Structure 1
Amino acid sequence: MTSLDAWLTLTAAPGVGPRTCARLIAHFGSPDAVVAARAGALAELGLRPDAVTAIKQPNRDWLGAVLAWAAQPDAYILARDDPRYPPLLAEIPDPPILLYVRGDPHLLAEPQVAIVGSRNPTPTGREITRDFASRLAAGGLVITSGLATGIDGAAHAGALKNGKTIAVLGTGPDQVYPACHRDLARQIAEQGALVSEFAPGEGPRASNFPRRNRIISGLSLGVLVTEAALRSGSLITARQAGEQGREVFAVPGSIRNSLARGCHALIRDGAHLVEDPAEVLAELSPLLRRAMADGVIDRRIDAADVGGDAAGSGLDPDYQRLLAALGFDPVAPDVLIRETGLPAEAVSSMLLVLELEGHVSSGAGGCYCRVRE
């Protein structure tokens, strides 16, 4: 039995979830050692009889079917010991044992912001979501969501206009739920990644989606809720994000809009109130720098992501024009857009690059100023 076979065998054992799996591996030393252990030794650690049987007598047909799925082009299985397993996700209390990926597995370790919300948003909610996703993606962030109807779909579609997106599934990686997002899922697999902790063949179950939500927040530096009712599952994702030490953002709305109440509740509980994508970028930039320094994300956001060269002293003309419009007193992005004539999404991404390079500093209200040399 190979190591991947051992990992798969553990995930298939009833009652063996992420925490139990981690405990078994810590005790025996490796997944291979767990499946090679005596049945009695496994029972002594509290495993149920049916779990012991599943480990000692794995379903070979099921293993063969899963490995056949992984043999397809652009299909991957990432175990916790795989170097491509996203380090940020590995930090949460119960990281998935395996990740099934369709698309680019390296994208999972890039800096991400999750966007979630109502399955039945207002037209304004959809528009705001697409705008935030598009502009944040242009700023170099990967947009992560859950492929649901409504806000999730709008977030994926907006991100694909200017960058990359990841869809975290509540089904196996070979399933698309809801079916109306089949074309969107295909586009995400081609330009981003579909990811799931559920094996091929697993259909949508109600219990799968709360588990999916912890992955959405766990992959991300922060979670943005654009429109949600008080009982929305998006609030569960936001709560999990807070428990995982991630930033939580919410877009305010009309007091007469029931789909704004969830966002207002988050803001009352301490979420960042945001009205512009630049405010999200400003709040996340310190986390990005820390993650880069700690090696928690694979790469730094640099000018190559947004079409320029902001490294060191080699600023291109647009960056020089933006810096020239900045003084040592805080300036709002709207003022910079007006004075430079640059597009709003370009200014947002360029300010993030300049801040990461140490040329500018963000302050209260999403304003920026130059850093004195």
Structure 2
Amino acid sequence: MTELQARLRLIRTESVGPQTYRRLMERFATANAALEALPSLARQGGRSAPLAIPTISAIERELADIARAGARLMMLGDADYPPYLAQLHDAPAVLALKGDAALLKSRAIAVVGARNASANGRRIAEDLAAGLAKAGVVVVSGLARGIDTAAHQGAMRTGRTIAAIAGGIDMIYPPENAALQEQIGRAHLLMAEAPIGTAPLARHFPKRNRIIAGLVSGIVVVEAAVKSGTMLTARLGVEAGREIFAVPGSPLDERCRGCNDLIRQGAHLTETIEDIFANLPDQPGKSMAFSVIQDGGLAEPVSAWQDAQADQAGLTRARRVITSLLGPTALPVDEIARHCQCSAAILATVLMELEIAGRIAFLPGNRVALLS
């Protein structure tokens, strides 16, 4: 089994999401080693039922399906993984790419907004995207109806665009954008985190939104209701340290209230591309993920894990203390560490065991909660 197959098998395993994947790679350095350790970790965490780990043949079928779709996989830790995206604590462990992956090396800005956009909103989005693309910026959006569609179309008039979609790389959505999606996948770049064949369900869109926020140095919002997926993208951008730009609109139009609210909170009021370029950071940030798992991982974290494994008495005590502390109310990991009074490696080992066993969940703010 190749390392690529092993990494895909690991991320497709029950109880292994993007954050767990990163922690496993930090500990074991290779996906093959992590896969071998999973059953033991789950048992130590109190799980009696076996983990659902995909077979090698299932992974081979998925890779064959991806190739037939004209796509390829990019894994977290690959040299060409987008550095901005890798900074996210929950950066996708695997992405399917169709088209020109070299676009991921260029400066990118997102243009997003309402699906039920007004004619003026669509025109503004298209013009801003065209101006950005003409200046050499890659325009990122989500291929949804309304503003997203206008942004892609504007960018394609003068330059390049990336579409991040919520379903599998082979799924057309919305149906009326079939030709646009095909053109982006052929001459620009289409990307998806969900496995091939996955329908774009509502629960997949927040994950798609974080990819959009992670790929770019700035997010331009053109029309958004206060409670909308677009506002979630903006919030994710704020959390990731991205610059937020918002086009103001009428307070009488529900589609504009989100933008006006963003401006009140400090987003850059945006009418032209000059407003955007005047407030962009000079360079993308350095990828933290590259220092974690590039080329299979680092020796020092693995050594620390081995030291923790050697201290069986410490692990036994920590398991008892930590499980007694945890409950349905999330606790910060720092607080758990204070009560446990154990090494960071032992704490991380016990939390990983519980996570793989499906007994705890890591929540935003580095907090942990016991699952029912």
TM-score with structure 2 setting the length = 0.74
- Give the conservation status (yes or no) of the 8 Å contact 1:114–1:216: yes
1:97-136 alignment runs, 5 A limit: 97-136=93-132
1:1-373 alignment runs, 5 A limit: 1-37=1-37, 39-44=39-44, 46=45, 53-55=51-53, 58-72=54-68, 74-284=70-280, 287=281, 289-291=282-284
Q: Hey, what's the Cα distance between the residues in 1 that align with 2:266 and 2:46?
A: 41
Offset at 1:256?
2.1
What is the number of equivalent residue pairs in this alignment?
288
Offset at 1:239?
0.4
Over the aligned positions, Cα root-mean-square deviation in angstroms equals 1.9
Counterpart residue type for residue 258 of structure 2 = G
Offset at 1:35?
1.3
- Give the conservation status (yes or no) of the 8 Å contact 1:117–1:228: yes
Q: Hey, what's the Cα distance between the residues in 2 that align with 1:47 and 1:97?
A: 26
Give the match's secondary structure for 2:182. helix
Give the match's secondary structure for 1:199. coil
Deviations 1:15-72 (A, max 9, x none): 211111111111222212111226223433x49566x5333xx234431222113334
Q: Hey, what's the Cα distance between the residues in 2 that align with 1:76 and 1:267?
A: 39
- Give the conservation status (yes or no) of the 8 Å contact 1:15–1:48: no
Q: Hey, what's the Cα distance between the residues in 2 that align with 1:49 and 1:201?
A: 31
For 1:345, the equivalent position in structure 2 comes to none
Q: Hey, what's the Cα distance between the residues in 1 that align with 2:229 and 2:46?
A: 32
For 1:315, the equivalent position in structure 2 comes to none
Identity of aligned residues (%): 42
Counterpart residue type for residue 118 of structure 2 = T
For 1:335, the equivalent position in structure 2 comes to none
- Larger relative contact order (Cα-Cα within 8 Å, sequence gap ≥ 6): 2
Offset at 1:14?
2.0
- Give the conservation status (yes or no) of the 8 Å contact 1:137–1:162: yes
Q: Hey, what's the Cα distance between the residues in 2 that align with 1:198 and 1:17?
A: 12
Counterpart residue type for residue 53 of structure 1 = L
Counterpart residue type for residue 13 of structure 1 = T
Give the match's secondary structure for 1:37. helix
- Give the conservation status (yes or no) of the 8 Å contact 1:160–1:191: no
Q: Hey, what's the Cα distance between the residues in 1 that align with 2:65 and 2:158?
A: 30
Offset at 1:279?
1.2
Deviations 1:224-256 (A, max 9, x none): 001111112100000000000000000001222
User: CA 1:259–1:253 in 2, change beyond 3 Å: closer, same or farther?
Assistant: same
- Give the conservation status (yes or no) of the 8 Å contact 2:247–2:269: yes
Give the match's secondary structure for 2:202. coil
User: CA 1:135–1:221 in 2, change beyond 3 Å: closer, same or farther?
Assistant: same
Offset at 1:111?
0.8
- Give the conservation status (yes or no) of the 8 Å contact 2:86–2:287: no
Q: Hey, what's the Cα distance between the residues in 2 that align with 1:169 and 1:69?
A: 18
- Give the conservation status (yes or no) of the 8 Å contact 1:115–1:152: yes
Give the match's secondary structure for 2:72. strand
TM-score with structure 1 setting the length = 0.73
- Give the conservation status (yes or no) of the 8 Å contact 1:9–1:54: no
Offset at 1:149?
0.5
- Runs (5+) with no aligned partner, structure 1: 297-373
For 1:353, the equivalent position in structure 2 comes to none
Counterpart residue type for residue 22 of structure 2 = A
Q: Hey, what's the Cα distance between the residues in 1 that align with 2:110 and 2:16?
A: 28
Counterpart residue type for residue 283 of structure 2 = R
